[in-house]
Structure 1
Amino acid sequence: MVSGSIGERIAAYRRRRGLSQAALAGLIGRSESWLSQVERGVRSVDRMSILLDMAKVLHVDVESLTGRPWQYAPNGGATPSDLGEVRRYFARYDHLFGDDLESSLNASALRVQAADAHKRYQAAEYEDLVTDLPELLLAADSLHRMAGSAERREMLLSYASTYVVAAKLLTKMGAADLAQLAADRCATAALDADSLEAQGMAAYQVVCALLRGDRPEDAESLAMKMATRITSSAHSDSPSLVSVAGSLWLISAVIAGRRTERGEAYRRLSEAQRLADLLGHDANFAWTAFGPTNVAIHRVSVAAELGDASEALQVATAVNPDSLPAGLNSRKAQIYLDLAWAQAQRKRDAEAILHLLEAERIAPNAVRYNVVVREMVREILSRSRRSKTTALHNLALRAGVID
């Protein structure tokens, strides 16, 4: 069996079959740049279906690619035990049968509950929020159908906000199909409400769901179109539009980084920086966490996506995550996750572990439900078989890498 990381194993078996990167990428429906990043250890293979396709093309079994038993393959790890209740709710279509949905919340209470859900998501309280999500969606759907004409627009905006946070959470949990459905419902409501801000928020969530569902081309097209559209209307007296447009430029930059298009990635970061300068301070308008510090964090993330560990470490020196508004735990944790990746790439595993532990201290669920973190921990474990530390072993347990 070939030794090394997953990327190194894939490269070795690809060469044994006499396939170029372009040929293998085409056979499994991925881009050549994506495969190049996987083989270099820049990206992880976060879907079992892709590993199965690779194994079939390369005439090996999955374990030969992973170097581990099935349970250690990517896309394993933690999933919330009660996501099934959310799936069952999305499968309900009571209104088709004339059944009235009943909720204990009124319109005012829904606004409060939706705002609280956004705060809990940004604090990385994913598990508790998943439990409460069906009841929140029930309230949004019930009030949406009962709203009179006088209060219809306000209700549509509350409905859209509720489904935005649902899409965020479901994307984070890896349920790309449900996330896209939630984002689509949000987009429909945002159009009915004639709100450009809500339309941008919905588009951002559709982009995230498409990325999670391995559809980067569709995600990029939507992100760029909506970023360009909203930017033309984003002025200093409309901080929410500035923030939504800026967030769309940021995710567009990340997508360009994944395609290793350095110039385009940094051009998009420059657009986001201009909007952050226009906003003038770190904020959280439209639940975007957008501002100068978030742009700085994304510079580190883009460097990581480009596979440039040295640059990621360098630009991270300009980031002060404590400048972010209170409660944005998942954003604060992201800088440490990117730093952990950069150190792991340089095989400085002790430093990588320290960064992972700091991210976990800030936002435990942001680490536990992160596919890249799990793959990173696996790689560090594979290099540390003779000197496993208690900290690394316990981190691997909490991240769902080992039982």
Structure 2
Amino acid sequence: MSVDELPIGRRVAQWRIRRRMTQQMLADRLGRSKSWVDKVERGVRALDRFSVIRDLAEVLRVDPVVLLGRTTPPSIAAGTDGVDAVRAALARYDFTPHDPDRRPAPPVAELSRRAAHAWLTYQHAHYSHLLRMLPGLLADAQHAHAAQPECATSLLVQVYRVTSSVLVKLGEADLAWLAADRAVTAAGGDRQFAAVAAIPLAQALRALGRDRLAMAAALAAAPPISCDQGTPDESSVLGTLLLQAALAAAGCGDTRTAHELTDRAAEIADLVGEGDDDQWTCFGPTAVELARVVAAVDLGDAADAITRHGIAVRRAGWRCLPAEHRAAYLIDVARAYLQVGDLAAAGRALVDADRTAPAETRSRPAARTVIAAVARGGPATAGVAHLASTLGVA
């Protein structure tokens, strides 16, 4: 058996030994128990979160791809070709907004339409196309904000936000954090803009495995309004921040806080209802129920997650959610089935996710992790085998 064909736990053990670490030493550096490391290496505990694999890789001083097995396949590379251009755009600063020789900034109304198109592209999971759009949109939004900050602040925050969101999808969490931090800076002292900017900040911190920081950031930025006081936009943003905080709490293993925050979000969602999404949050009663499922997965309560999943996808709001949201959720559902050893159901969830939004399964490192675990866990269905072969994890 080649190194690439070994289960991920065996590869972790090989690299640990190569780095002359005991299981206890590795556990201490990860902030985990020796028992956790032992279960990972024996394959008893599945590694189904990319953030955990990234932390392991950092301690073992290898690329995460080495632990996952094989090199990055063309299908993933094609989905991330534009990341360097986005990185370059984020590295630019607009020091000469009033230079008479410079072309005027595009009208804010035109840029708002382009930003809305970027969000729709994201929600349809057309990530490669979005990466091609973002460098020009970032430059123009920065120019407009430098020239007319009173008119273009909301625009710039949203452009940074969609940039951060797609970078999280593609496993570029550090760069996503930078984009989110730029959104917070652009928001300045405006409480509502800052709350919007905190959404990608919490997402990026969660992707980095900094769950406690993510929870603190989301709660600190949450608008100080009661459930029935805010406008629909304010309520949607507040509810979304509460869900981000709840998922971060679940990532910390804090069951009580995760449930309390999700319950608060549910109260707001009942007032907001489905379909009002001017802030591109997808917030509503269905989104809250999906978040309960994902939180249960992260808390290790797969049975509860699976039960809730069966109810959530029968809601009328399920089909109204963007393809990106549904496919990402189905990948998390596959993690739940993987936790209980139901490889067939996990495979069905992955195939459904691929049908819904192929870029979610084929461009995301997190999805590749789950697909590899399902494909290598036992005899794979034709759909899973095809996915695994396409991604180079068969």
Q: Same-fold call, TM > 0.5? A: yes
Q: Distance in 1 between matches of 2:35 and 2:232?
A: 36
Counterpart of 2:141?
140
- TM-score w.r.t. structure 2 length? 0.83
Matching of residues 4-403 of structure 1 within 5 Å: 5-7=7-9, 19-20=23-24, 24-28=26-30, 30-32=31-33, 39=40, 40-41=45-46, 43-46=48-51, 50-52=55-57, 54-55=59-60, 66=67, 69=69, 71=71, 79-93=79-93, 95=95, 102=103, 105-147=106-148, 152-191=149-188, 194=190, 196-227=191-222, 230-232=223-225, 235-320=228-313, 323-324=317-318, 326=320, 328-384=322-378, 387-398=379-390, 400-402=391-393
CA shift at 1:134, angstroms? 0.6
Residue 391 to residue 182, structure 1, CA distance change in 2 (3 Å) = same
Residue 255 to residue 279, structure 1, CA distance change in 2 (3 Å) = same
Residue 315 to residue 282, structure 1, CA distance change in 2 (3 Å) = farther
Q: Distance in 2 between matches of 1:144 and 1:222?
A: 25
CA shift at 1:259, angstroms? 1.7
CA contact (8 A) 1:353 1:392 kept: yes
Structure 1's unaligned 5+ residue stretches are: none
Which stretch shows the higher mean deviation, 171-180 or 158-167?
Answer: 171-180
Q: Distance in 1 between matches of 2:257 and 2:35?
A: 17
Q: Distance in 2 between matches of 1:48 and 1:300?
A: 22
CA shift at 1:91, angstroms? 2.4
CA contact (8 A) 1:121 1:129 kept: yes
CA shift at 1:261, angstroms? 1.6
CA shift at 1:90, angstroms? 2.0
Q: Residue by residue, what CA displacement relative to the aligned partner does 1:148-205 show, whole Å, maximum 9, x if unpaired?
A: xxxx42221222222221121222222223222222222222225x2x3221110111
CA contact (8 A) 2:273 2:284 kept: yes
Q: Distance in 1 between matches of 2:116 and 2:39?
A: 38
Higher relative contact order (CA 8 A, sep 6+): 2
Letter in 2 for 1:118: W
Q: Residue by residue, what CA displacement relative to the aligned partner does 1:64-99 show, whole Å, maximum 9, x if unpaired?
A: x95x755389xx877511211112222223526986
CA contact (8 A) 2:97 2:146 kept: no
CA contact (8 A) 1:176 1:212 kept: yes
Q: Residue by residue, what CA displacement relative to the aligned partner does 1:286-315 show, whole Å, maximum 9, x if unpaired?
A: 111001000000111011101122111101
Q: Distance in 1 between matches of 2:16 and 2:136?
A: 49
CA contact (8 A) 1:313 1:342 kept: yes
Q: Distance in 1 between matches of 2:366 and 2:136?
A: 31
Structure 2's unaligned 5+ residue stretches are: none
Letter in 2 for 1:27: R
CA shift at 1:135, angstroms? 0.8
Q: Distance in 1 between matches of 2:302 and 2:367?
A: 16
SS in 2 for 1:71: coil
Q: Distance in 1 between matches of 2:158 and 2:63?
A: 41
Residue 89 to residue 380, structure 1, CA distance change in 2 (3 Å) = same
Aligned residues: 381
Letter in 2 for 1:121: Y
CA contact (8 A) 2:15 2:60 kept: no
Q: Distance in 1 between matches of 2:304 and 2:244?
A: 19
- TM-score w.r.t. structure 1 length? 0.81
